[in-house]
Amino acid sequence: MRATSDKVVERALLAVACTAVFCLLVIAAFIFKEGFPFLLKVGPGNFLFSSDWRPDSGHYGIFPMIVSSLWVTFGGLAIGAPLGIAGAIFLSEFGPPSAMRVVKPAIELLAGIPSVVFGFIGVMVLAPFIRRVAGGPGLSVLAAAIVLGVMILPTIMSISIDSLRSVPQSYREGALALGATRWQAVRMVVLKAARPGLLAGMILGMGRAIGETMAVIMVAGNAVKMPASALDSARTLTANIALEMGYATGMHRQALFATGIVLFVVIMILNGAATAALRRRGAAKR
């Protein structure tokens, strides 16, 4: 009887897993079906590296939006990664257990806040502050990067904490026995052992940032131009799709689906890199 119930549960879980894979394949097939003919007609080079986005005139260049997406994503990573990893080091290695019980759930609570709330705070508080202190329109690459840095903080910190806590205690004890201070043991031994997991957290945070839409629409300014500085307004790939899909038709609509293909490929590459880093961590532990 127990063997039969185990098989039923196993097959049910397998069916759920297959359903998730099937949904992913359907989404990918739909995006490629709608956007790939456009790439063949216009040419990947003209689409990816042209700076002229004027769909009403038949010009579909997304290079400024690619650059804007990279600016915003790496800016958010530059803010979120140091804070997330530093917080994970404190909570895992130096902080009291009570701090872990309080701070970690509070940080993870940020992941449940709707992105529109972050965007609203960015519009009402952050953008006016940037405009008053640094100049520019306020709604800018810098504002989007700060908002994304806060939004990816839970992802990076949670994975970093798990990575640091998975390092065997014997590593720390060995370093301390050789005369290292506690910080030296963390810096020279623990961080190196946890490096694949820390890298995976950063990559997943990057994927979260590059796929964010609503908050970026609200705080980036949405100007279709090449940003010259962090104080310039910009439009990302995701924002372009969300802003124009509602009225796009014909080639314009196909161009937006082709933009979705670009995003899909980038995110798949990032997820693959994160998976490889996690496997490397598992192999190092064995």
Contact 140, 230 (CB under 8 A): yes
- Give the pLDDT means over successive 10-residue stretches in the chain (286 positions): 73 85 88 90 88 88 92 93 92 86 83 89 93 90 94 91 90 88 90 88 88 91 89 92 89 92 86 74 57
Q: What pLDDT score does 231 carry?
A: 92
User: Which residues is 60 bridged to in the sheet?
Assistant: 53
Element spanning 151, H or E: helix 141-151
Q: What pLDDT score does 108 carry?
A: 79
Longest CA span, the chain: 72
Contact 47, 255 (CB under 8 A): yes
Q: What pLDDT score does 118 carry?
A: 93
Q: What pLDDT score does 279 carry?
A: 73
CA 212/CA 245 separation, integer angstroms:
16
pLDDT tens per residue, range 157-193: 999 998 999 899 998 989 888 888 899 999 999 999 8
CA 244/CA 153 separation, integer angstroms:
29
Contact 230, 142 (CB under 8 A): yes
The CA distances from residue 117 to 38, 77, 120, in Å, are 35, 20, 5
pLDDT tens per residue, range 66-76: 999 999 999 99
Is 152 strand, coil or helix? coil
Q: Which two tokens stand for residue 117?
A: 């709330």
Q: Radius of gyration (Cα) for the chain, nearest Å?
A: 22
Q: What pLDDT score does 43 carry?
A: 87
Torsion of CA 43, 48, 54, 59, to 10 degrees: -20
Q: What pLDDT score does 1 carry?
A: 58
Q: Is 26 exposed, middle or buried (0-12, 13-18, 19+ CB in 10 A)?
A: exposed
CATH architecture assignment, domain 48-285: Orthogonal Bundle (1.10)
CA 58/CA 213 separation, integer angstroms:
25
> Residue for token digits 């979120």?
80
User: pTM for the full model?
Assistant: 0.86
Q: What pLDDT score does 282 carry?
A: 58
Q: What are the residue ranges spanned by the domains of the chain?
A: 48-285
Cα distance from N-terminal residue to C-terminal residue, the chain:
36
Contact 259, 243 (CB under 8 A): no
Q: What pLDDT score does 69 carry?
A: 92
Contact 235, 68 (CB under 8 A): yes
